[in-house]
Amino acid sequence: MSFITSSKLLTLILVLNEKEQKILLGMKKRGFGVGKINGFGGKVEAGETIEEGARRELLEEAEIEAIDMTKVGVNMFTFENDPVGLEVHIYVTKEFKGTPTETEEMKPEWYSYSDIPYSQMWADDKVWIPLLLNNTRFMGHYHFSQDQATVLYEKLNVNIHDDDLLERFSFEQIM
């Protein structure tokens, strides 16, 4: 596989209010993807599990503590002329403690499922967020142009068995 030589391990957490059909998203105020609206997340640190990393990022970026956390998908993002991919493990939280609060990194806001601001989000989000809302498990690869705006190549597998979402991403799983 010629896309990458290594990958960074990241998380992304989508908080849902199913009763009101709303999703909590945040405008990223700094770093990678600045200005874009996205779920909460970031790099998994040494010594923590992927889920621990996800819980920590949700607390750091939105000041809420996940009660439930379910892994729903894994995406690999690669970029033109960049040998390092991003392996993003995606979780859904439906119950949490605390009140979503603006932090140095993110400005959280609730959006109706029918009014998700895809035009202000990463181009891949509109592909897999509808799957997530529909309770479908997924695994995908998105290869971006250097300007990080265009998806040059995409491959998506759906209805992945929960056990297959536990491990690190392997390209054989979707190729």
Ligand X SMILES: CNc1ncnc2c1ncn2[C@@H]1O[C@H](COP(=O)(O)OP(=O)(O)OP(=O)(O)O)[C@@H](O)[C@H]1O
C-beta closer to ligand X: residue 124 or 160 = 124
Candidate residues 21, 32, 158, 167; the one interacting with ligand X per rule CB under 6 A: 32
Residues forming a β-bridge with 76: 87, 141
Residue 59 C-beta: closest distance to ligand X, Å: 12
CA 101 remoteness from chain centre: 19
Using CB under 6 A, count the residues that bind ligand X.
Answer: 16
Site stretch for ligand X (CB under 6 A), options 36-44, 96-104, 131-139, 166-174: 36-44
Asked if 42 touches ligand X (CB under 6 A), the answer is: yes
Which helix (H) or strand (E) is 130 found in, with range?
Answer: helix 125-133
Binding mask 93-132 for ligand X (x = CB under 6 A): -----------------------------x-xx-------
3-state per-residue secondary structure call for 51-66: HHHHHHHHHHHHCCEE
d(CA 13, CA 62): 11
Site stretch for ligand X (CB under 6 A), options 29-37, 65-73, 112-120, 133-141: 29-37
d(CA 64, CA 14): 12
Residues forming a β-bridge with 156: 140
Extract the tokens encoding 6: 């290594």
The residue number whose beta carbon is nearest to ligand X equals 42
- Site for ligand X, rule CB under 6 A: 10, 12, 31-33, 38, 41-43, 77, 86, 88, 122, 124-125, 144
